[in-house]
Structure 1
Amino acid sequence: MMMNKQKRTSLLFVLLAAIVTITGCSTGGSDNQEAGTAGQGGAATYNFRLAEAHPADYPTTKGDMKFAELVKEKSGGRITIDVFPSAQLGEEKSAIEQVQLGAIEFTRVSTGPMAEFNKDFGVFSLPYIFNDDDHVWRFLQSETGTKLLDSLETSGLKGLTYYSSGSRSFYSTKPVAKLEDLKGMKIRVIENKLNIEIMDALGANATPMAYGEVYSALQTGIIDAAENNYPSYYSSKHFEIAQNYILDGHQRVPEVLLVSKQVWDTLSPEDKAILKEAAVESTEYQREEWAKYEKESEEKVRAGGAVITEVSDADAWKNAVKPVIEKYRTEYGEVLNAIEQAKTE
């Protein structure tokens, strides 16, 4: 069976990245770390790369850059991290694969596609499990949220911290005012099984697709709709084509900052502490930037002609997807209980 173009491209990224690692390219890869030159007090120096799918002015990218700034400061300049925005090193799934290989050292990705690499992360794709952003962060900073981040080590990844991503809602080229309006719509979703099941429960037709392909797909009618948060809706310019945005808030899918487990295991305890401390400190900055950009994005899409609709009957939406949640309750029971508990803490 022939691979489609997207899969060939993704595989090519991974193979090329692996070659870079094996040959010990001076800008990254595990060979470069082992051969790091001596810095202050004889400690090794490193120049790492961080893959980011969003543009340079996006809140997650700003979080990445704050992380890099803090690492350089805390290491006295021994450790530098170059951030590559706008998917220069590949879309999120490809970036995760390269980080697993150690060909790229760091990446920031949505927890949505992470379910393909660590099934526990599928819980974040379940619909309507969080009430608001404060609820999300009470869970992420709980013992269970920390354990979930640490569980990534079994997947060849090391989770350093979470970042904010707001709530995801639907936007369409056609008017959407109620749940029934989604029936039969072709809606782009993140490439994981759970998102497809959610669309089925809502009566829509899921179309898994890389984020970078959504604009042209909306423009040409390959899809009728997509779903994302305010900042992505604005920065991607999807609001120019799909001007109907309904605030159902079906998912609150956090972001995660990752380092390759291969790379992590080569570092000294002191350097590991620097990276972890810098990542955690960058989180508060990223959350502040997110809140500001979210508000600005809403104002700009409204000014650009987008029609924003509030959901009048949230229970109808929640009831429609209950079978999906129940299907996964056994698998994610412990985490769902912790999320429920975080509502009242």
Structure 2
Amino acid sequence: MKNSRRLFVLLLAAAVLMAFFSVPAAAEPEYKWRLAQVHPVGSDYDTRAKEFARKVSERTNGRIHIDVFSGGVLGDWTETFEMLMRGSLEMNMAQANANFDPKLNLAYYFPYLVKDIEEAKKVYGKDGWAYKIVQDLWAAHNIKALAVIPLGMAGVSLKSKPASYADPEVHNNMKVRVMPIKPCEMTYEAMGYIATPIPYAETYSAIQTGIADGQMGGPPFQAWQFKDVNKVWIQYNDFFEPWWIAINLDLWNKLSEADQEILQTAALEESAIQWERAAAEDEKYRQKLKDEYGWEIVILSPEELDRIASHVRKAVWPKLEPLLGKELMDRIYQESGIPRP
């Protein structure tokens, strides 16, 4: 009896050991990459980047391991674009740097190409006409753009509301920090402001010291960074801010088709999640500014928005042709349905 019990225990132990060793262990990473993005830890964009990395690791059984570096610790978006282009960084989640190619303004700042998030999804989503064009523009700089992570619709934060905020043909004396790229400067001049190009890192102190009365360059999420020095948000929708999950093209070309499919699918999944959240994120930060800091929130009526968009398109788009080239501008006019002035 004792021998039978001992035999049973030995057989059970052998079965457990066989089951344990038959489970395939996760592979050692074949690739260890870094993905840089500038938004704070805990933000939606930090979450999207980390979920993308998690899915890629899970679906490759650990062969591709991606460490996410948030908060700009590897450099700002202009620096990481160059690093990605040269291959000293494997991946990032950022916008295009038009300093390398003015045509890349289509991938970042192009005023009133769209007027709301629904239009933006049709144009910049995976089936949109701008999606493939932008991918080709990035590829010319050795970058494979995988999918858009939408940040939302832009506007301006100011110390006070100008009386002529809805009339672009009336000039006011308010100095607005604009991103140091020409289309931004042209747009806010056309909207009646004194456009003052200032790097983002210097913007807070510029508003504090009176060099600028406010800032543009992003959706209400960005205005939140200036909650203590501004008091008004105007939802101009002057541009949709598209950030992209991207990978160095040389690295992409070395991957198997199966691994490329895993990366592309994971990027599009995170893109789809953020498209559904983008409008709600804009509203969340408008409400936070209003409820927690007493900001005045100005939402343009459809008529006001149409008037400003039409004015900017007529005043600014022709000036973009020397930057983007006639061929690309012809495509933009054709695809957007906006007639040439």
Do both share a fold (TM > 0.5)?
Answer: yes
**CA displacement 1:83-131 (0-9 Å, x = unmatched):** 11111111110110111111111111134xx323343332352322213
* Alignment partner, residue 69 of structure 1: 54
Q: Are 1:273 and 2:261 matched, yes or no?
A: yes
Instruction: Report the Cα distance in structure 2 between the residues aligned to 1:81 and 1:115, rounded to whole angstroms.
Output: 27
Which 10-residue stretch deviates more, 297-306 or 287-296? 287-296
5 Å-filtered alignment, 1:211-230, equals 211-227=200-216, 228-230=218-220
Q: Which runs of 5+ in 2 are unaligned?
A: 1-23
2:330 is aligned, of 324, 333, 336, to 333
* Alignment partner, residue 188 of structure 2: 199
Shift of 1:319: 4.4
Shift of 1:307: 0.8
Which 10-residue stretch deviates more, 289-298 or 271-280? 289-298
| Aligned residue pairs, count | 299
Amino acid aligned to 1:128: Y
* Alignment partner, residue 116 of structure 2: 132
Shift of 1:143: 5.5
Amino acid aligned to 2:63: R
Indicate if the aligned counterparts of 2:286 and 2:297 stay in contact, CA closer than 8 A: no
Q: What secondary structure, in the 3-state scheme, does the structure 1 residue paired with 2:254 have?
A: coil
Over alpha carbons, which structure has the higher Rg? 2
* Alignment partner, residue 160 of structure 2: 174
Instruction: Report the Cα distance in structure 2 between the residues aligned to 1:42 and 1:267, rounded to whole angstroms.
Output: 17
Shift of 1:207: 2.7
Note closer, same or farther for the CA distance 1:280–1:247 as it changes in structure 2 (3 Å cut). Answer: same
Q: What secondary structure, in the 3-state scheme, does the structure 2 residue paired with 1:175 have?
A: coil
Superposition TM-score, scaled by structure 1 size: 0.78
1:145 is aligned, of 118, 123, 130, to 130
Shift of 1:328: 3.3
Instruction: Report the Cα distance in structure 2 between the residues aligned to 1:200 and 1:273, rounded to whole angstroms.
Output: 44
Indicate if the aligned counterparts of 2:142 and 2:249 stay in contact, CA closer than 8 A: yes
Instruction: Report the Cα distance in structure 2 between the residues aligned to 1:159 and 1:88, rounded to whole angstroms.
Output: 22
Shift of 1:186: 2.5
Instruction: Report the Cα distance in structure 1 between the residues aligned to 2:61 and 2:308, rounded to whole angstroms.
Output: 52
* Alignment partner, residue 233 of structure 1: 223
Note closer, same or farther for the CA distance 1:54–1:336 as it changes in structure 2 (3 Å cut). Answer: farther
Indicate if the aligned counterparts of 1:176 and 1:246 stay in contact, CA closer than 8 A: no
State the identity %.
Answer: 25
Which 10-residue stretch deviates more, 186-195 or 49-58? 186-195
* Alignment partner, residue 116 of structure 1: 99
Shift of 1:323: 1.7
* Alignment partner, residue 155 of structure 1: 141
RMSD between superposed Cα atoms in Å: 2.5
Note closer, same or farther for the CA distance 1:242–1:249 as it changes in structure 2 (3 Å cut). Answer: same
Instruction: Report the Cα distance in structure 2 between the residues aligned to 1:85 and 1:249, rounded to whole angstroms.
Output: 27
Amino acid aligned to 1:172: L
Amino acid aligned to 1:155: H
Superposition TM-score, scaled by structure 2 size: 0.79
Q: Which runs of 5+ in 1 are unaligned?
A: 1-38
Q: What secondary structure, in the 3-state scheme, does the structure 2 residue paired with 1:249 have?
A: coil
Instruction: Report the Cα distance in structure 1 between the residues aligned to 2:35 and 2:129, rounded to whole angstroms.
Output: 27
Note closer, same or farther for the CA distance 1:283–1:212 as it changes in structure 2 (3 Å cut). Answer: same
Instruction: Report the Cα distance in structure 1 between the residues aligned to 2:211 and 2:308, rounded to whole angstroms.
Output: 25
Which 10-residue stretch deviates more, 58-67 or 311-320? 311-320
Instruction: Report the Cα distance in structure 2 between the residues aligned to 1:209 and 1:40, rounded to whole angstroms.
Output: 52
Which 10-residue stretch deviates more, 217-226 or 119-128? 119-128
Instruction: Report the Cα distance in structure 1 between the residues aligned to 2:128 and 2:41, rounded to whole angstroms.
Output: 32
Amino acid aligned to 2:114: F
Shift of 1:310: 2.7
Shift of 1:53: 1.1
Note closer, same or farther for the CA distance 1:269–1:218 as it changes in structure 2 (3 Å cut). Answer: same
Indicate if the aligned counterparts of 1:139 and 1:338 stay in contact, CA closer than 8 A: no
Instruction: Report the Cα distance in structure 1 between the residues aligned to 2:287 and 2:193, rounded to whole angstroms.
Output: 29
